Chains A and B, each alone.
Chain A
Amino acid sequence: MDFPTKPGEYDPINYVPHTDSHGTKELWKTFWILLGITVFDFVIYFVMPASGLRNVIFILFGLVKAYYIVGAFMHLKHERINLALMIIVPTIFIVGLIMGLLYEGNAIGLMK
């Protein structure tokens, strides 16, 4: 796994772009955000009675946590936009699958 030594020769398989450290400030900030949201989840669970609104809040919090994990920890915020889109866009289709199958599951439940 070394760089080719002869000038003009280039090996795309072993090419590793140079990466700089962004420092640890953003990482610790992300940690406190994730911890805060988890504590908030815990509090809301006991303060609010179970309802559709509470479920929506939990799912939104989950998505916010996902944004911070993927963006900061997995470094996707700092990657090229075409890599980020290649990863994120296909997962949007999962949302459609979830909504469709929850609807169908509900319909099956009504016929049981």
Chain B
Amino acid sequence: MATEQTAAFEKQPMWAGGRSPFNVSYGKLMMWIFLLSDAFTFSSLLVQYGAQRFSNAESAVTTKWPDPASIFNHFPFMHGVHLPLLFVSVMTFILILSSVTMVLAVEAGHRNSKKEVQTYMLWTILGGVAFLSCQAWEWATFIHEGARLDSNLFGITEQGYKHLESVGFGDHFEWEAGDRTFGPVPFAALFFIVTGFHGFHVFSGVVINVVVYIMTFRGVFERRGHYEMIEKAGLYWHFVDLVWVFVFTFFYLI
């Protein structure tokens, strides 16, 4: 039978050919290689961000890179309140939580528990949709504040920084005339490109998760005898979370 045969093949020498020297299935190995190439894609975007930022660190307003805390300080239903970093931390929490439900789905798959896989996949999909909604809100707010792909209204003047320093966490804050002028264009452009690229990955991850959920629901993996597809979808989902760790660090914290 299949398991005896598998055991026999796992005893063969690793590099003699005819089996995976990495001891993973073909599909999983290919997923890892795809993720490696995707890591290079995101690295190229983040490296460009770093280079642009370092070349715009001068003191003149039009070239000075704005402090992200002064821009991403909004929270839904809290209009005009200065809450830097809070909303994006909530987004990070949502993504971490959906990573946990994903990995719990993988673990349930190892035990061939169809029902648990379904439950956890559903939570993961919900987490992904919640994250995308948050990002849509953040983009809408940023665009409303005057950011565009080809121009940047966040050249913060000395008056603007003094104004920002005078408000504490949770105080009322709104831009006043003379607080800001045109700043370095790559700031807004790279924000849209990098978070947009990441958001598109989240979106495709949600689509993959929905497909896998439907396949679980219809008992495809039950008939197949293993839930490895959940693991492959999970690898992609965790990678999206991994990218967010670096986007969070470089776009919001630093």
Contact = CB atoms under 8 A, between A and B. Distances in A.
Given A27-B103, A38-B96, A69-B238, A12 B85 contact: no
A58 B171 CA distance: 26
A3 B6 contact: yes
B23 A17 contact: yes
Interface in B26-52: 26, 29, 32, 35-36, 39-40, 43, 46-48, 50-52
Interface residues of A, number: 65
A101 to B, nearest CB: 4
Interface string A48-78: 0010000100110110011001101111000
Contacts of B6: 3, 15, 17-18
Contacts of A79: 22-24
A80 B111 CA distance: 22
A109 B56 contact: yes
Nearest to A106: B54
B111 to A, nearest CB: 5
Contacts of A61: 249
B47 A58 contact: no
B99 interface: yes
- How big is the B interface, by class? 35 or more
Given A21-B110, A73-B99, A106-B55, A65 B245 contact: yes
Contacts, number: 180
Contact of A21 (B2, B111, B226): B111
Interface in B59-114: 63, 67, 69, 84-86, 89, 92-93, 96-97, 99-100, 102-104, 106-107, 110-111
Contact of B107 (A21, A70, A86, A109): A21
B57 A27 contact: no
A55 B54 contact: no
Interface of A: 1-5, 7, 10, 12-24, 27-28, 30-31, 34-35, 38, 41-42, 45-46, 50, 55, 58-59, 61-62, 65-66, 69-70, 72-75, 79-80, 82-83, 86-87, 90-91, 94, 97-98, 101-102, 104-106, 108-110, 112
22 contacts: A10-B5, A15-B19, A19-B110, A22-B107, A27-B104, A46-B85, A55-B254, A59-B254, A62-B249, A66-B246, A73-B234, A73-B238, A82-B22, A83-B24, A86-B22, A90-B40, A94-B43, A98-B47, A105-B51, A105-B52, A109-B58, A110-B58
Q: Shortest 6 CB-CB distances between A and B: which pairs? A: A105-B54, A3-B2, A105-B51, A21-B110, A83-B22, A109-B55
Given A4-B2, A21-B111, 4 more contacts: A2-B2, A13-B26, A31-B99, A41-B89
